[in-house]
Each structure stands twice: as structure tokens, then as C-alpha cells.
Amino acid sequence: MDKKEISRKASENGLLLSSAALERIADEGLDCEAIFRKAKESGEWFVKPELVDEEAKSKAPVCEGAAESVKGEGRPPACDMPSRLVIYEDSDVSGKSTCSGTIEDFVGYFNARYENLRRVLLERAEYRSAMNIDALRKGSPKEKARIIAMVREKREGKNKGNRFLEVEDQTGELTVLLSDKSEAMGGVWDRVLPDEVLGFEGVLRGDLFIASEVNQPDIPLNHVRRYADEDVYAVFLSDVHVGSYLFLEKEFQSFIEWLNGRGSRQDIAWRVKYVFVAGDLVDGIGIYPGQEKELTMPDVVKQYEFLSMLLSEIPPHIEVVLSMGNHDAVRNAEPQPKVARDLALRLYEMPNVHVVGNPIRLSAHGVEFLIYHGTSLDTIIGGISGCSYSRPETAMVELLKRRHLAPTYGSDSLSPENRDYMFIDDVPDVFHCGHVHTNGYTLYRGVNVINSGTWQAKTAYQERLGHQPTPALVPVMNLQNHEVTMLDFNGDGRGD
């Protein structure tokens, strides 16, 4: 089986292959199906060389030198591919923030949020006849009805097992009882978050709506994926944290070297046309108490300047998109506008670098991307059982199901704009986050869900919380067939 075939099989199984694992499976002719089965059984999404080791024990020794450093020669094909990058300006809050903190801002924001999510639910045939709460009360139909409402509160009744949701729409409020039947549909109660918009099917009995079915807006099952028409790659980065004494400069340098055709997998490096960075470009200053002791550069302008120096080594035919995170020198509340020009002048002056807000929508070679730093993943991981810091992709899927990047207003630091920038409107082909400093990957209803990890070694804070960061692992995606490969720039930094 050749490498293409092996990668295709991996992606069919929702798995990522490390490039070293791929080389070994191909070179040693190992049974990839058995390896993938084993990976899935042990709940892994990333096939590491260790997994291949087990399979290879009975086989011939490793073919050494497969990933030997190669000095780039010739001309990268990506040089001759015209850039096809479209950054959707309307998805970027930069320069457009309307929020002044008035009560009208909040009302306007909540209305926009509700209307957007309601529209998604109305696309489902069964919700076309959904009633508003006022009409439901007035009509008090005997038979089943459907409503679309925002959750205000979760509450458990005195009688054990009675679970209520206080919900509302623009016309009124209602108490919903989650019946055993709706509970049977996958533990709805455990997953409901305050402020999320849900569809309910059930019957009205007096003042109580007894729900038999609960639906999230979700990604439609018929989402049609878009592919590039040529062999071209995008690279995903996040949480670079330049300025932190834990920034892995050497590893980051080997990544840049790799983009220049020095290292293994030159076949990929030379077809890279896009590098996307999902925020936390720098470590910032004053982000948490005592941070100054952990900085090598206690000046944010210097931090951005150093980043621009590193990025200036990226070949100019590669487009670099820099989005923001909670460590960047912009407001904390999301959506975040891009960093001011005078704080990051050098970055603004680079012709192949695009500084944008967070979140951001863009299209590259016809493939649609949603890039979001991921601050709300903390709320999701803390609030939904089954989501953890070691598997950020599961929390990212929860955002997709809610079609919203910050489902809980109170926990996530949000700015009530007159438009809901956090709403996931058109379904992307790739959903890219960072923030948790751990790589993750899954395929959810045709959407490639990628968390791009970090370039910062484990901080004291992460040590205390028991988090395991996965620095210097870089997901790259072939936009022609959506195959994602993980490159490892740890150790000798060969990119395998």
C-alpha cells in the first residue's frame, strides 16, 4: 500500500498519522488496518510511532535514514501557485465594535443570538411549524408542539429525577420538564448549558411543557465539503507565546527551516501555501499575577517585533494569517479586534502577513475555514462531562453542535455587539482552535476539527492543574483531499 492509500485509510477512520508512523507503515509494509484498529480501541486519534512499534515487533528493523535532513533544492511548487486567500471582512470585528456597555447592547445581542440559532433550527423540516411561547400558551394545543427557546436556568425538582429548564423566547417564558424519554436520548440534562438555544418537542400541560425530544442546532448531516483543485497545503499553529521564557524558540526555528525545505517531508513543505495562527501570538504582559517573572521580554512591542523577525524567514510565497488570543495585546472580551498597528508595526508591514481579529472566517483555495482562539473551551471542558483538556477536539465539537463559539454568556467574556460574531453561520470545512495547548483532531459531520497545540513548554500553572501540553506538534492539511498529517518538531526537529 502506498502512502496516499494509507493516509486515506487513516482519515476514513478519523485518525491522524504522524509522518514518522506513515513512513514506517509504508516502508515496512505493515498492516495499517490492524494499527488503526488498535488506535481506535485504545481511544487514540493520533497514531504515534509507538503504536506502529507494537505492530512492527515481529517485522524487520526500522529503515534508518528515511527522514534524513535534505537541503532544499529546486523551486517549491507553491511558488507558482497564485494565492487564493479570501479573508471575510464581515466576520472580523476589528474597527467595527459597537458595544458601549448599555442595557440596549445586551438586549440587542441576545436577540441577534436567538434569531440566528432559531434560523438554523428552522432549517429542519420538523421545526418549520414551531410556535412561539406566547402562541403556545394562548392556543394550548392538546397534541404535540415544538418550540425554539433559550435556556435561562437548569434546575432540579424536589422529587428526585425531575429536571427542569427555565426557557424563554422573545414572547415569553416557560418551564420545560425533561421527561424520561428525552433524558433517554443521550443524557440531555448533563449537556445543557445556560444560554444555549434548543428546539423542544413536547406537550403543554397547564403551565408545564413536557419535552419528549430536545434538539441542538448542530451541523446538518448533508454538509458538502469543499476541496482545492490542486495539491496544496495549509499549516495550523497557535499559542506561540513569544516573550515567555518557555517559548520553544529552537523548535519554532526548525519549523521555519522546514518551511524553507530543510528537513523531512519536503513533499509537503514545498506545497504549503498558507499558515494559519489561532492566537496567543505573544505571551503578553500582565495576563496573570506573577507573569513578569516568566517573561524574557517584558515589553509587548518587543514581543511582536521578535515574532515578526521569526516570521520574516517564512518564504514570501506563503500567506500567513495571524488571529488573536487572550494573551495578545487586545481586549479580552470576544470577539477580539486585531492588535493595534503601532504595537505590531513590523507584522503589518510584511506583505505576506495578514493580521486579523478573533474569530475569523476565511477561504483558501476554495476550502472554508473558521479560526477561533478557543477561550470558551475552558467553559465547555468545565461544564460538560466527557470533555477534557487532553481531548480538546471533543469540546470543539460541542461548539459546533451549538453553532456558537461562546454558548454561555455569563462564563465567557463576551462583548455584546449588535451582530453575533460568535455565531457559526455557514458551516466551515475546517474548524481551527488553539488555547488549550494540546493538539486534537477529529472529523465531525464532514468538518475537520483541529486544535493546533502550542510552542510553549509546560508552565507552572499547567503543572499545578495537571495539564499535559503537546508543544511543537504541527497539523498540516492537504486542501485537495482534506488529509491531515501531524509533524513533530521536537528533539532533532526534522519535522517527522
Contacting residues toward Fe ion, per CB under 5 A: 239, 280
Rounded to 5 degrees, φ, ψ at 391 are -130, 65
**Using CB distances below 5 to 8 A depending on partner kind, what does residue 284 bind out of Fe ion, Zn ion, none?**
none
**Least CB distance from residue 280 to Fe ion, whole Å?**
3
Candidates 99-107, 180-188, 389-397, 434-442 — which segment interacts with Zn ion by CB under 5 A?
434-442
The three three-digit cell numbers of residue 191, written as one number: 449537556
Q: What is the DSSP string of 240-295?
A: --BTBTTB-HHHHHHHHHHHTT-SS-HHHHTTEEEEEEES--B--SSSSTTGGGGB
Q: Which is nearer to Fe ion, 176 or 246 (CB)?
A: 246
Helix, coil or strand: residue 479: coil
Q: Which does 283 bind (CB under 5 to 8 A by kind): Fe ion, Zn ion, none?
A: none
Select 264 or 303, whichever has its Cβ closest to Zn ion. Answer: 303
Q: Which of 280, 305, 420, 496 binds Zn ion (CB under 5 A)?
A: 280
Q: Which does 294 bind (CB under 5 to 8 A by kind): Zn ion, Fe ion, none?
A: none
Q: Which of 49, 202, 325, 440 is in the footprint of Zn ion by CB under 5 A?
A: 325
- Of 328, 290, 278, 311, whose CA–CA distance to 459 is shortest? 290
Query: In this complex, which beta carbon is closest to Fe ion, that of residue 273 or of residue 437?
Result: 437
* Residue whose Cβ sits closest to Zn ion: 435
Between 108 and 325, CB nearer to Zn ion:
325
Query: What stretch of H or E contains 137?
Result: helix 133-139
- Is the Cβ of residue 254 or residue 326 nearer to Zn ion in the bound state? 326
Distance CA 348, CA 353 (A): 7
Q: In angstroms, what is the minimal distance from the CB of 327 to Fe ion?
A: 6
Q: Is 379 in the site for Zn ion (CB under 5 A)?
A: no
Query: Of the candidates 326, 376, 379, 462, which one interacts with Zn ion according to CB under 5 A?
Result: 326
Nearer CB in complex with Zn ion: 404/435: 435
Give Cα separations from 83 to 30, 268, 423 (angstroms). Answer: 38, 17, 28
Place of cell 492566537: 279
Q: Note whether 435 binds Zn ion by CB under 5 A.
A: yes
C-alpha cell at 367: 476550502
Stretch that binds Zn ion, among 42-50, 121-129, 319-327, 335-343 (CB under 5 A): 319-327
In this structure, how many other beta carbons lie within 10 angstroms of the beta carbon of residue 124?
15
Nearer to Zn ion, 240 or 427 (CB): 240
Which partner from the list Zn ion, Fe ion, none does 337 bind, CB cut-off 5 to 8 Å by kind? none
Cell of 119: 434560523
Residues 358, 373: contact at Cβ < 8 Å? Answer: yes
Q: What is the chain's Cα-based Rg? A: 24
Sort residue 24 into left (φ over 0), alpha (ψ -120 to 50) or beta: alpha
With contacts defined by CB under 5 A, how many residues of the chain interact with Zn ion?
4
Binder of residue 412, out of Zn ion, Fe ion, none (CB less than 5 to 8 A by kind): none
Q: Considering only 6-14, 49-57, 404-412, 430-438, which stretch makes contact with Zn ion by CB under 5 A?
A: 430-438
Cell of 174: 416557560
Binding site for Zn ion (CB under 5 A): 280, 325-326, 435
